[in-house]
Amino acid sequence: MKRRIFLCFLLIFGLVLPVRAEPVKWVDFHIPYESLHYALQQDITTFEQEKHIGWIEILALSAARTGGKCPLSSVKKASADLKGEKSPRELLGASSKYYEYYHEAYTAALGGLVGSYAIQINGQWKAQYGLKAFSPVAAGYGYSHCDDFGVSRSFGFKRKHLGNDLMGVLGTPIVAVEGGVIEAMGWNRYGGWRIGIRSFDSKRYYYYAHLQKDHPFAEGLQEGDIVKAGDLIGFMGRTGYSDQENTNNIETVHLHFGLELVFDESQKECNSEIWINVYDIVRLLSSHRSSIQKTATGWQRVYPYQDLDIEEFAK
């Protein structure tokens, strides 16, 4: 009886439970490398200060003011403003709704790249704060790339290129940019041998394609496995563009690296997937590369790694 009275009270006075907002349906990610780098340095510099200024807050404020363009001058101003007493909402006033959108979008795109981590050197764990994600290409291996997102592709059907191609040498070790769960692994007629890894918060789906013929993957990997940022996952090749498995049908050896944002599971595999341009993110990650070496027992990391935001610190 009391429950019925309570429900009637809700209906009469319009007190209803909050309805979940519609998920973000599109993200135009056009933050220049210089702006990403500056915001990152501000984040690291202020980490142990009384007021820590996160790089996503800086970038979201700049984007709300510039319609997502985020030139370096605007990012510098946003950083300086956030060091003051006013919140982003107070700084923006009526435009704060744009800040909410960009903050959600940039958290989805960049949320796993910066934080606390530790590496083991000479048997000792060293904790750090900063860029904790890695370049997809292991340390010591050269590569080249350009901004090729959106370039036309025709194999199978006419479409746009939804990633960044990193040109390198056959067999170059490829590592996981961020930790997560292997969600897809095997042959795809477009990507050849490929791996798809979902971040632990489920917002980011990393796609690594055209891996090496005959020996595409790191030993023992399978779907459902958990990998850490910087772990070896495969080797660069030129497979794909074929219905026949294990076929080299790509002219140039390279890694296709893509990043899909997932705000709702219905977006994961559909006609309106959200893939963003990772060219400037790859540039940023080039300063943090995982050292992988081949030993008598196989490939292994030189410096063991822990993500301290999700793991208990190694004793």
Whether residue 238 contacts residue 187, with contact meaning beta carbons closer than 8 Å, is answered with no
**Bridge pairing between strands 192-199 and 180-188:** antiparallel
C-alpha–C-alpha distance, residues 135 and 277, integer Å = 15
Whether pLDDT at 195 is above 80: yes
Q: What is the mean pLDDT of the chain?
A: 91
Whether pLDDT at 12 is above 60: no
Tell me the chain's radius of gyration from C-alpha atoms: 22
CA distances to 92, 186, 190, 227, 263 from 173, rounded to whole Å, are 45, 17, 21, 15, 31
Residue 174's pLDDT band (cuts 50, 70, 90): very high
Q: What is the pLDDT of residues 266-311, one digit of tens each?
A: 888 888 899 999 999 999 999 999 999 999 989 999 999 999 999 7
Domain ranges of the chain: 27-110, 133-307
Instruction: State mean pLDDT over 198-211.
Output: 97
Residue 11: predicted pLDDT = 38
Among the listed residues 102, 38, 130, the one whose alpha carbon sits nearest the alpha carbon of residue 75: 38
CATH superfamily of 133-307: Glucose Permease (Domain IIA) (2.70.70.10)
**Bridge pairing between strands 232-235 and 124-131:** unpaired
C-alpha–C-alpha distance, residues 235 and 232, integer Å = 8
Residue 270: predicted pLDDT = 82
SS (H, E, C) the chain: CHHHHHHHHHHHHCCCCCCCCCCCCCCCCCCCHHHHHHHHHHHHHCCCCCCCCCHHHHHHHHHHHHCCCCCHHHHHHHHHHHCCCCCHHHHHHHHHHHHHHHHHHHHHHHCCCEEEEEEEECCEEEEEEEECCCCCECCCCCCECCCCCCCEECCCCCEECCCEEEECCCCCEEECCCCEEEEEEEEECCCEEEEEEEECCCCEEEEEECECCCCCECCCCCCCCEECCCCEEEEEECECCCCCCCCECCCCCEEEEEEEECCCHHHCCCCCCEECCCHHHHHHHCCCCCCEEEECCEEEECCCEEECCCCCCCC
Instruction: State mean pLDDT over 9-24.
Output: 50
Q: What is the pLDDT of residues 47-92, one digit of tens each?
A: 999 999 999 999 999 999 999 999 999 999 999 999 999 999 999 9
Instruction: State mean pLDDT over 120-129.
Output: 95
Terminal-residue alpha carbon distance, the chain: 56
Q: What is the pLDDT of residues 235-259, one digit of tens each?
A: 999 999 999 999 999 999 999 999 9
What is the model's pTM? 0.91
Whether pLDDT at 262 is above 60: yes
C-alpha–C-alpha distance, residues 89 and 57, integer Å = 11
Q: Provide the percentage of residues in the chain whose pLDDT is more than 70.
A: 90
Q: Provide the percentage of residues in the chain whose pLDDT is more than 90.
A: 82
Residue 132's pLDDT band (cuts 50, 70, 90): very high
Question: What values do phi and psi take at 42, rounded to 5?
Answer: -65, -40
Residue 22: predicted pLDDT = 85
Among the listed residues 241, 200, 198, the one whose alpha carbon sits nearest the alpha carbon of residue 208: 198
